[in-house]
């Protein structure tokens, strides 16, 4: 099979979905084809509720949801073969993930920009709100820990690290702050400064690609003897600062710059696929799979989480994006279209590790062990995707890897600080439920968001030493991420049912997710108990218990007649 043909088929499927299915959802389900005022105009505060141009907001939303997960997930899942991974990425994105994201954004925008956790109180009752917010808080700690670890690996890992990416990524952040000042203090234009910033970013990439030593930490800075730990602490300090700043200072300009360079990067990778026309060397179904690997079903559907459906996207849509939505009509392009963008990233990831790693024997050498795939998945993507850039960089492998690494880190860093901001909102809402008003202080809430995540990332080590917690937490990240997606779909189901709107586009994905992720969660919990990973076991058990409590509250609402206690919009 040819990778270019698969890319064309995937692009065609995404185009048709946006052209027809998304429009149908807009008219028949979510009712966003109107000029209803958005929270950014009804409750502006200059910090979180700030009306934003739809192109800028799309950049923020896309960069926030499309973190490293749609890269890491497919890079691992291809061990079962490229065909199951590709089918789940394409059809999961169109019929589950994008439906979920669009719905979460529309529902939140119609209800004052409130988060999914807070809205659970209106729809399912106050107890469900507490259970759901607790799930979100626990998951967000895991998300922050995992993404800080992934970036730290690319910055400082001895084998798969790309230290050449360190300075370009930090340069981008500094320039974003300058642009934020230029726009909001000097009332300057955003477009041209951001384009200039992207050009300078690629100049920085070109220069730094020749000097990996510039981004390599000296041994004197290795905390706990590990550069990974040092980078984790640096990244979490950045996430704290970014999460308490007004969105216009760093988040909006940084994400706009990011959107430019990420679209350029994705476009270059796709064009490189069409030019190099590589053959897929991975098997469609891997019949020579490591016997220690878990079964394809249901593990595929939690291994590839964000590339097809992600509960975290609902948190982004309701936590930050809905508060910046300028017009209700923009929700379709940002919500549904943003998920299609992530699906495209996951599609490129599948092709990179299926057609970019050399011969079938070379592929098998990298995917012969389930354990090793978990540790090297992101490195396999960087290596495979770099081969697609050969038409543009020639044989300069270091430059190609640096470009790909900067793309990956830019995605992941945006998710990192967005997750910290979302955690701040959720802690404030959880505090309000218990009368703990001090959690409304954004500086304190951000600290509570960051410190436990740091402990998870550094010390959840499974006996491997400080700084190895990220990949150990990955299984519960995937399972819980999908369960939160299922709960968001549950809220959408009751909301639409009360308004006598079609519910089958919600019910089918909802039932599928609940069955697959619950079975996968139980299997994963049994595996972690056998391995003695106490922290993972505790988190996994808590997630399953809280999920059961939320669905019990939903059952009680159903028994009352299925109507929600919320007022009509």
Domain ranges (residues) in the chain: 3-559
Residue 81: predicted pLDDT = 94
Question: Quick check: 371 pLDDT over 80?
Answer: no
213-258 pLDDT, tens digit per residue, is 877 777 777 776 678 888 889 999 988 988 888 777 777 677 777 7
For residue 98, pLDDT over 60 is answered with: yes
SS3 call for 325: strand
Q: What is the pLDDT of residue 188?
A: 64
Residue predicted with more confidence, 219 or 354: 354
Compute the Cα dihedral for 259, 265, 269, 271 and give only its sign. positive
Q: Is the CB of residue 97 less than 8 Å from the CB of residue 311?
A: no
pLDDT, mean of residues 21-43 = 90
Residue 476 has pLDDT above 80, yes or no: no
Residue 566 pLDDT class (50, 70, 90 cuts): very low
Higher pLDDT, 51 or 15: 15
Task: Give CA–CA dist 119/302, Å, rounded.
Answer: 25
Q: pLDDT band at 102, cuts 50/70/90?
A: very high
What pLDDT is recorded for position 565? 46
More confident residue, 188 or 320: 320
How confident is the model at residue 211, as a pLDDT? 83
pLDDT at 316 over 70: yes
| pLDDT bracket for residue 569 (50, 70, 90) | very low
3-state secondary structure of 518: helix
Q: Which two tokens stand for residue 466?
A: 């400080």
Architecture of domain 3-559 in this structure: Up-down Bundle (1.20)
pLDDT band with cut points at 50, 70 and 90 for residue 260: confident
Look at residue 218 in the predicted model and tell me its pLDDT: 73
Q: Report the SS3 class of residue 329.
A: helix
Residues 6+ apart with CB under 8 A from 5: none
Instruction: Report pLDDT for 463.
Output: 43
Cα dihedral sign, 43-45-49-55: positive
pLDDT for the residue 524: 80
pLDDT tier, 11 (very low <50, low <70, confident <90, very high otherwise):
very high
Mean pLDDT of 348-374: 88
CA dist 220 and 85 (Å) reads: 43
Q: 325 forms bridges with which residues in the sheet? A: 52
**Contact (Cβ atoms closer than 8 angstroms) between residue 424 and residue 446:** yes
The predicted structure's pLDDT at residue 107 = 94
What span, in angstroms and rounded, lies between the C-alpha atoms of 50 and 511? 36
Q: Is residue 548 pLDDT above 70, yes or no? A: yes
Q: What's this model's pTM, rounded to 2 decimal places? A: 0.85
354 touches 281 (CB < 8 A):
yes
Hey, what's the torsion of the CAs at 153, 146, 354, 261, to 10 degrees? Answer: -80
Dihedral sign from CA coordinates of 451, 74, 65, 237: positive
| pLDDT band at residue 568 under the 50/70/90 scheme | very low
Query: Across all residues in the chain, what is the average pLDDT?
Result: 85
Residues above pLDDT 90, as percent of the chain:
28
44-61, pLDDT tens digit by residue?
887 778 888 888 788 778
């Amino acid at each position: 099979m040819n990778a270019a043909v698969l890319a064309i088929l995937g692009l065609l499927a995404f185009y048709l979905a946006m052209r027809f299915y998304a429009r149908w959802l807009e008219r028949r389900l979510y009712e966003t084809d109107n000029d209803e005022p958005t929270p950014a105009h009804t409750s502006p505060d200059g910090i979180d509720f700030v009306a934003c141009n739809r192109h800028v907001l799309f950049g923020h939303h896309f960069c926030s949801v499309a973190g490293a997960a749609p890269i890491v997930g497919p890079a691992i899942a291809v061990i079962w073969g490229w065909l199951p991974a590709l089918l789940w990425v394409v059809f999961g994105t169109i019929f589950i993930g994008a439906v979920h994201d669009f719905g979460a954004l529309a529902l939140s925008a119609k209800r004052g920009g409130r988060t999914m956790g807070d809205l659970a109180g209106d729809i399912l009752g106050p107890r469900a709100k507490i259970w759901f917010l607790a799930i979100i808080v626990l998951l967000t700690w895991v998300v922050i820990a995992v993404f800080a670890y992934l970036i730290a690996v690319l910055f400082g890992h001895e084998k798969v690290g790309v230290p050449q990416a360190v300075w370009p990524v930090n340069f981008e952040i500094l320039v974003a702050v300058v642009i934020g000042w230029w726009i909001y203090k000097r009332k300057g234009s955003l477009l041209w400064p951001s384009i200039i910033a992207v050009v300078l970013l690629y100049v920085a990439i070109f220069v730094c690609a020749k000097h990996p030593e510039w981004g390599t930490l000296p041994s004197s800075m290795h905390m706990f003897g590990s550069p990974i730990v040092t980078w984790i602490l640096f990244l979490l300090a950045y996430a704290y600062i970014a999460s308490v700043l007004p969105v216009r200072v760093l988040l909006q300009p940084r994400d706009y710059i990011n959107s430019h360079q990420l679209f350029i990067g994705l476009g270059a990778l796709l064009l490189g696929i069409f030019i190099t026309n590589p053959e897929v060397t991975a098997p469609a179904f891997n019949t020579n799979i490591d016997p220690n690997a878990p079964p394809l079903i249901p593990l595929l559907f939690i291994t590839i989480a964000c590339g097809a459906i992600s509960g975290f996207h609902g948190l982004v849509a309701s936590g930050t994006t809905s508060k910046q939505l300028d017009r209700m009509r923009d929700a379709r392009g940002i919500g549904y279209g943003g998920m299609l963008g992530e699906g495209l990233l996951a599609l490129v990831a599948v092709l990179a590790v299926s057609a970019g790693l050399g011969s079938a024997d070379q592929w098998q050498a990298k995917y012969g062990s389930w354990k090793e795939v978990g540790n090297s998945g992101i490195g396999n993507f960087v290596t495979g995707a770099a081969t697609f850039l050969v038409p543009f960089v020639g044989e300069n492998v270091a430059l190609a890897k640096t470009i790909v690494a900067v793309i990956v880190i830019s995605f992941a860093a945006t998710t990192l600080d967005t997750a910290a901001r979302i955690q701040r909102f959720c802690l404030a809402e959880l505090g309000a439920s218990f009368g703990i008003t001090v959690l409304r202080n954004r500086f304190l809430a951000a600290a509570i968001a960051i410190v436990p995540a740091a402990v998870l990332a550094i010390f959840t080590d499974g006996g491997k030493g400080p700084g190895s917690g990220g990949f150990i937490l990955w299984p519960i990240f995937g399972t819980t991420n999908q369960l939160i997606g299922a709960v968001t779909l549950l809220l959408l189901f009751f909301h639409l049912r009360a308004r006598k709107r079609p519910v089958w586009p919600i019910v089918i994905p909802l039932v599928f997710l609940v069955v697959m992720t619950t079975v996968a969660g139980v299997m994963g919990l049994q595996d972690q108990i056998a391995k003695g990973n106490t922290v993972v076991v505790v988190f996994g058990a808590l997630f399953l218990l809280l999920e059961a409590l939320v669905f019990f509250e939903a059952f009680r609402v159903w028994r009352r007649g299925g109507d929600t206690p919320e007022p009509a919009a």
